[in-house]
Structure formats: C-alpha cells, structure tokens
Amino acid sequence: MAEPPSPAANPPASGAASQKIDEIPAPPNVEIATNPTTLPSGAAPASTGTTSPPPTPQPSEAEAAEAAKLAASLQTAAQAGDHPSEYRLAILYALGKGVTRDYDKAAALMRRAADAGLPEAEYDYGVLADKGLGMPKNAVEAVRWYTKAAQKGHPPAQLNLGYAYAEGLGVNRNLPEAAKWFRRAAEAGLINAEFNLAYMYEQGAGVTKSPVEAFAWYSLAAERGDQGAQEALDRMAPNLTDKEKASGKARAAIIRKSIKAQG
C-alpha cells in the first residue's frame, strides 16, 4: 500500500498546506509599543546565528520609556534568578522593546527559563532554534523543545510539533504522530491546527479518511476566518451527501462547545 501523502504533498486549491506558528509573542500582560510581534522571516546564517531585522515602526517616547523601565526591572529580577523574568526579558530582547534587539541575549535568557521548565520558554526557545535566531538553525533542537512544551499542554508547541512530524523536519516523518499533535492543538482552538487536522482527515493521512470529520474541522477554521478552510469546504460540498454535511455540522457544534468550555 502506498504511503498516505503529507498535508503538504497534495495541497488544497488555496495553496495552503501544513501550517505552524513561528513568532515570539508580545510580553505577557504588557502593551508598550506598536512594533509587530512576528520575528523576521529570514533565517540566520549558521556561522553567526544572528540576522539583521527589517526596520520597524518606532514607539512613542512614552512607550519607549515604559519599555525601558520594564526591561530594567526584569533585568534585576532575572539576575536574581527569577525564571519568569528571564523569559519576559528574553522576549523584549527578541522584539527590541525597551532594549536593543539582540537575539543572542534573547536565546541565552530563553534557554535559562526553558531549562527551568517554563513551557512558554521551551516553546519560544524552539522557535528561535527553528528560525536560527541567536543560534545556528537546528530543526532537531527545535523539535526537542517543542516536545517538552507540547507534553505540558502548550498548544502552539503541539501545533509546531505536529508540523515537524508531518513534514519530517528534525524528526522522522510520522503522520499518525502528526495527527495526534494537530488534534491536541485543534482541541485547544488553534485555527492552523484545525485546518491541518481537517486536511489529514480529508486525505486519510495519518488517520482514517473521514469526510465528516474533515468537514467539521474545516468548518471550525472557516468560521473563524481561515480562507483556505472555506475553499476546502467549497471544494468538498458537491461531493458530500446531505447526511454527511449534517453530521459534519453536528460534529463541529460538539467540538465548538468543548473548546468554549475550556475558556
């Protein structure tokens, strides 16, 4: 029997395939600047582990002063060994908020927080390794840290780990394992994971093929604005019976209720 395709092997009409999250979030509970939170897309040269980010909008004087004050406070706490402060300071260095952007310092601080077992730091350290920021690009190292965070219930890490297994990046390709992690992230409400899991059900990749499950998960992603999911629904609809569509909608309602119950 031929091996089922990965989600990227036969992408839907929109060109979407397996999706992951590749950004560092804004500092927790802090809104201090207008800079975008997405890390630069260019991979760092393996020889240096650094990259030159594109120009970003400058914060106002008040925002800059507040950011610098926060960074100084976090620096003091981080030096005293407070791991959540190490994590938040690492984010500031990654984003260049309140400090000069420095991925080497961001990676060093993030690693300390990750070594302490903070799942959000484990995930973000995986992102830095994945993108080669502050260190040489290393997919194996990224998977190692995604796994640590995913096992602690961190949805973005679960999504990225599923992506790694689906595409064979830093780990042997394993579609059932990819589906497992996509499901956990999707059940937590991540749109990209909902799309990925739907696609796997549509193709029978890593799971038993099920138009009903595919329709349900695509519906959840589409109703939250995922254009690729809406295109997939439009593509599937003519080939589904009324009973299958009704079952898919009923299944989506059950999943939606479960996601909302999680808060």
Q: How confident is the model at residue 24 (pLDDT cuts 50, 70, 90)?
A: low
**CB neighbours of residue 76 within 10 Å:** 12
Domain ranges for the chain:
23-138, 153-263
pLDDT tens-digit map of 33-78: 222 222 222 222 222 333 344 555 677 888 888 989 999 999 999 9
In eight-state DSSP terms, residue 135 is S
Distances from the Cα of 90 to the Cα of 24, 28, 37, 75, 85, angstroms: 10, 12, 13, 10, 8
153-263 has which fold? Answer: 1.25.40
Q: Do domains 23-138 and 153-263 have the same CATH topology?
A: yes
- CATH superfamily of the domain spanning 23-138: Tetratricopeptide repeat domain (1.25.40.10)
Query: DSSP state, 208?
Result: -
Which pLDDT score, from 0 to 100, does residue 57 have? 65
State how far the Cα of 249 lies from the Cα of 231, in Å rounded to an integer.
16
Q: Cα dist. 203→161, 173, 216, 217 in Å?
A: 20, 16, 14, 13
Q: What is the pLDDT of residues 218-232, one digit of tens each?
A: 999 999 999 999 999
pLDDT tens string 176-211:
999 999 999 999 999 999 999 999 999 999 999 999
Say if residues 95 and 87 touch (Cβ distance below 8 Å).
no
Q: Supply the mean pLDDT for the chain.
A: 83
pLDDT at 62: 85
Q: What is the SS3 assignment for 1?
A: coil
The yes-or-no verdict on residue 11 having pLDDT over 50 is no
Two tokens, residue 138: 């290393």
Position 55 scores a pLDDT of 54
DSSP 53: P
Between residues 60 and 91, which one has the greater pLDDT?
91
DSSP classification of residue 240: S
- pLDDT tens-place string over residues 94-117: 999 999 999 999 999 999 999 999
Contact indicator for 35, 92 with CB cutoff of 8 Å: no
Q: Quote the pTM value.
A: 0.81
- pLDDT at 61 (0 to 100): 83
Q: Is the pLDDT of residue 172 over 60?
A: yes
Q: Where are the alpha helices (DSSP H) in the chain?
A: 61-79, 83-95, 103-115, 119-131, 139-150, 155-167, 175-187, 191-203, 211-222, 227-236, 242-261
Q: What integer pLDDT is reported at residue 262 of this predicted model?
A: 85
Q: Taking the mean position of all CA atoms in its chain, how far away is CA 12? A: 21
| Residue 19 Cα to chain centre, angstroms | 8
pLDDT over 70, % of the chain = 79
Contact between 121 and 110 (Cβ < 8 Å): yes
